[in-house]
């Protein structure tokens, strides 16, 4: 059962992946958490269907090899069948020739027997007379020599005819034996033809079954390639949305910081104005007090000229209150093409841009070989934009480590961070999962700059 053809899964994907999150979610974290819950349900269904899809399939190379072997066997059987059929036709021709020969021999034998019968009847007509009796009884003794020669010739002809008749009978028997031998051989060839035709039929049926299986396999691979392309588009869409929302959040934060700074400056200016007003009021009071003292001093000078003519009250220095400066917002680190530690220790089994086994797509990241449960650590500090399941990538974690740089940790067995969390370098974000599209246990790691996949080896140690 193909994943993309499942109506319920397609509908859920359209609602939860390709469309934006509902307006009811007020913050980025709430939006992503809402998507995560829906994606978890989809992930469970997809896992079952992927297991059903992968069960009992042969590779295309094996099927093509078996079909090639059967084609060779079919050709060999067909050649053998043609040879047997040629032998069969030859045997039939030989049998026909032998039967024609038997018919001719039988005709010759019948003619020989007829002549021999005539000779025997002539001899019987002559009776048992001896040559001497014939000579004594003849009226014409001159004919005796001619009769003697005739009888000798007749005897030799009869003897030759008898021998020839016997030879013809022997040839007939021999020819009949040859016919029987050829008929037996013909029957054997007929059985061999039947056996070879049966074998050929079985091989053709097996060949047809393998071709059908291969066609199904190719169709499944095409569907898998389409699914992988859809998964890649889904991840691209998710990353683009998260980047846009993150930048919007940054803009909102900057706007709030600017508003807070403006408010702080306004409050400081207001405080300064209040302090200036207070100082002015105090100065006016002091001036009035000094004027009153001068008047009192003039009156006292009139009463007593020697008492404190020049005495003045101490002046109180009025200073405006000190306004504490608002704390500065932390600056976002700008990450260049530096060297970060690898997320896991292990050999790289698939590199960026290498073709996938099923064909049609290239890897947009790299694959580290690692055992199930191996801790996966953040390569750089940043904020978690997404942590949860994504079709085709298992559990993933997306971390914004710079203004336009994302680190994506995929095919995780479990995640150890949540959306909105600030992680430091070396912080465990999850653990290595098992199997899946990777074929073997390992971590799928991808880097994106401005939303576009880039070679992770430009940023990390190998």
**Tens digits of residue pLDDT in 218-272:** 788 778 777 777 877 788 788 788 878 777 877 887 888 888 888 888 888 888 8
Residue-level length of the chain: 462
Instruction: Determine phi and psi for 339, rounding to 5 degrees.
Output: -110, 120
Specify whether the CB–CB gap between 237 and 386 falls below 8 A: no
8-state DSSP, 437: G
State whether residue 320 is helix, strand or coil.
coil
Cα dihedral: 226, 229, 235, 236 (round 10)? -140
The pLDDT tens digits for 360-391 are: 678 899 999 999 999 999 999 999 999 999 88
CB within 8 A of 101, min separation 6: which ones?
Answer: 175
Q: Report the distance separating Cα 381 and Cα 33, nearest Å.
A: 22
pLDDT for res 447: 93
Cβ neighbours of 214 (radius 10 Å): 17
More confident residue, 251 or 302: 251
Q: Give the pLDDT band (50/70/90) at residue 395.
A: very high
Q: Give the pLDDT band (50/70/90) at residue 77.
A: confident
**Closest-CA residue to 459 (of 354, 369, 343):** 343
Query: How large a percentage of the chain has pLDDT more than 70?
Result: 69
Q: Is residue 154 over pLDDT 80?
A: no
**Closest-CA residue to 175 (of 90, 87, 92, 96):** 96
Q: Is residue 33 over pLDDT 70?
A: no
DSSP alpha helices (H): ranges in 323-410? none
Sort 390 into a burial class: Cβ within 10 Å, 0-12 / 13-18 / 19+: buried
List of domains in the chain? 60-215 (1.10.287), 348-458 (2.70.70.10)
**Closest-CA residue to 354 (of 234, 444, 442):** 444
Q: Report the distance separating Cα 38 and Cα 46, nearest Å.
A: 13
pLDDT for res 37: 66
More confident residue, 124 or 170: 170
Query: How large a percentage of the chain has pLDDT more than 90?
Result: 19
Q: What is the mean pLDDT of residues 409-424?
A: 94
Q: What is the mean pLDDT of residues 125-132?
A: 59
Specify whether the CB–CB gap between 341 and 424 falls below 8 A: no
Cβ neighbours of 221 (radius 10 Å): 17
More confident residue, 410 or 91: 410
Specify whether the CB–CB gap between 379 and 250 falls below 8 A: no
DSSP alpha helices (H): ranges in 304-313? none
pLDDT for res 36: 66
Number of H-type helices and E-type strands within the chain: 5, 10
pLDDT for res 422: 95
Q: Report the distance separating Cα 367 and Cα 437, nearest Å.
A: 11
Structure tokens at 195: 């056996």
Instruction: Determine phi and psi for 115, rounding to 5 degrees.
Output: -65, -45
Of 18-22, 29-33, 124-128, 210-214, which one has max mean pLDDT?
A: 210-214
């Amino acid at each position: 059962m193909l994943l993309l053809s499942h109506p319920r899964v397609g509908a859920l994907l359209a609602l939860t992946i390709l469309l934006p999150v509902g307006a009811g979610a007020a913050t980025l974290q709430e939006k992503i958490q809402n998507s995560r819950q829906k994606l978890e349900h989809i992930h469970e269904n997809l896992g079952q269907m992927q297991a059903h899809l992968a069960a009992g399939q042969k590779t295309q190379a094996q099927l093509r090899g078996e079909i090639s072997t059967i084609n060779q066997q079919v050709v060999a059987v067909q050649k053998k069948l043609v040879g047997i059929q040629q032998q069969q036709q030859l045997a039939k021709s030989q049998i026909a020739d032998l039967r024609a020969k038997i018919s001719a021999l039988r005709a010759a034998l019948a003619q020989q027997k007829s002549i021999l019968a005539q000779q025997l009847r002539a001899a019987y007509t002559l009776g048992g007379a001896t040559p001497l009796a014939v000579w004594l009884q003849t009226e014409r003794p001159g004919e005796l020599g001619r009769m003697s020669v005739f009888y000798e010739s007749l005897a030799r002809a009869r003897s030759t005819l008898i021998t020839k008749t016997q030879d013809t009978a022997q040839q007939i028997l021999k020819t009949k034996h040859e016919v029987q031998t050829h008929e037996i051989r013909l029957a054997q060839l007929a059985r061999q033809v039947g056996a070879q035709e049966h074998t050929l039929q079985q091989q053709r049926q097996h060949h047809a079954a393998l071709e059908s299986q291969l066609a199904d396999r190719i169709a499944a691979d095409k569907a898998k390639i389409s699914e992988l392309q859809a998964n890649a588009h889904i991840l691209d869409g998710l990353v683009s949305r998260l980047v846009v929302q993150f930048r919007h959040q940054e803009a909102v934060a900057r706007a709030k910081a600017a508003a807070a700074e403006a408010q702080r400056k306004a409050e400081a200016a207001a405080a300064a104005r209040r302090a200036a007003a207070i100082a002015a009021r105090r100065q006016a009071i002091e001036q009035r007090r000094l004027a009153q003292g001068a008047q009192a001093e003039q009156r006292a000078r009139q009463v007593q000229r020697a008492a404190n003519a020049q005495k003045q009250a101490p002046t109180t220095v009025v200073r405006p209150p000190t306004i504490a400066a608002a704390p500065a917002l932390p600056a976002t680190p700008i990450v260049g093409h530096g060297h970060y530690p690898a997320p896991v220790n292990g050999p790289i089994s698939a590199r960026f841009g290498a073709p996938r086994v099923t064909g049609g797509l290239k890897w947009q990241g790299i694959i580290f070989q690692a055992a199930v449960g191996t801790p996966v650590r953040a390569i750089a500090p940043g904020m978690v934009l997404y942590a949860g399941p994504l079709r085709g990538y298992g559990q993933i974690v997306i971390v914004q480590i710079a203004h336009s740089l994302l680190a994506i940790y995929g095919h995780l067995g479990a995640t150890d961070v949540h959306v909105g969390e600030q992680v430091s370098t070396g912080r465990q974000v999850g653990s290595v999962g098992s199997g899946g599209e990777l074929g073997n246990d390992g971590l799928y790691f991808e880097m994106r700059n401005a939303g576009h996949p880039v070679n992770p080896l430009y940023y990390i140690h190998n």
